[in-house]
Amino acid sequence: MPTSKQLLTSVQAARFVAQGFLRLDAVVPQEINERAIATLTEGLPDVPYGTALSQAFAQDTFVNELLGLPVIAGAVESLVGPEPTVDHHAIHIREPREGQAQPLHGDAIIDVRPDAFDIQLMYYPHEVTAEMGGTLSVPGSHLRRINETDVGRVQNLRGQTRLTCPAGTVVLLHHGIWHGGRRNDTARRRYMYKLRLNPTVPQVRLWDTTDLHDPAVTAELSTYFPWYEQATARLEIYNRVLLWRALTGDELFDIEYWVTRVSNRPALRSHA
């Protein structure tokens, strides 16, 4: 197994900034998946808040092996840096034919940082079919602040995604994305492992920036989603530009000059 980390590209980082998540399908070997299911059935010990990720899990645990996979290690480092800390972790189980779903919500409304973010790693050790429910998420919702379950009354939004995936899939989420666990209508338990990570270094150019000026970067950041209102969608793009400026250190980056116009405050000059 290769050991070098596989950092994200600028295009992938821009996709995360625009969509609020990055999906890595079937990247975890079946051996780890099988061990994970057994461990998740038994439960996991708590990890104290603020524990360095490198010290949080024993070497022989599936979590340590999962995080050591080059594609996952590289993606995590690209988003939150080389030594993030653990916010919390949890096992999410949807029981067979449980008859209820989790309402749409966003996590941690008090976290309104415009220039930084945590990530939530969601790991699915077995195949998730449509009948198993899957995690519902709303692409592009992460920069629109809501009060936790205030959007829970919303049943469906155009363009929402209900995760179906092969075994060994990992999804990395911006902490603000709207999401919720769907109802499991099968006779089998559905497992998901969640790990929230906090950055400990400035989140500036942590990925492979070789393609930083690729036109595809701006194309990703310009993406519209079907649920956006016609006018308010511009604010979503505006907020992405602010975040991208923070993540790249490029205070001149813009799309359609929207941020440039708003921040234009010429200095007053004396005409004496």
For the domain that residue 124 is a member of, what is the CATH number? Answer: 2.60.120.620
Flag whether 117 is in a domain: yes
Flag whether 144 is in a domain: yes
Residue 64, H or E segment: helix 62-68
Flag whether 237 is in a domain: no
Residue 225 contacts residue 159 (beta carbons within 8 Å) = yes
CA dist 206 and 93 (Å) reads 33
- Choose among 8, 79, 10: nearest CA to 221: 10
Domain that holds residue 19: 10-198
Which residue type does 174 have? Answer: H
Residue 59 contacts residue 205 (beta carbons within 8 Å) = no
Q: How many structural domains compose the chain?
A: 1
Flag whether 172 is in a domain: yes
Flag whether 231 is in a domain: no
CA dist 94 and 58 (Å) reads 27
Instruction: For helices 233-248 and 10-19, give the axis angle rounded to 10 degrees.
Output: 140
CA dist 157 and 138 (Å) reads 8
Flag whether 97 is in a domain: yes
In tens digits, the chain (272 residues) has pLDDT values of 344 679 999 999 999 999 999 999 999 999 999 999 999 999 999 999 999 999 999 999 999 999 999 999 999 999 999 999 999 999 998 888 988 878 888 886 677 788 889 999 999 999 999 999 888 899 999 998 877 777 878 878 898 988 999 999 999 999 999 988 888 899 999 999 999 999 999 999 999 999 999 999 999 999 999 999 988 888 999 999 999 999 999 999 999 998 999 888 887 555 55
Flag whether 243 is in a domain: no
Flag whether 77 is in a domain: yes
pTM for the model stands at 0.92
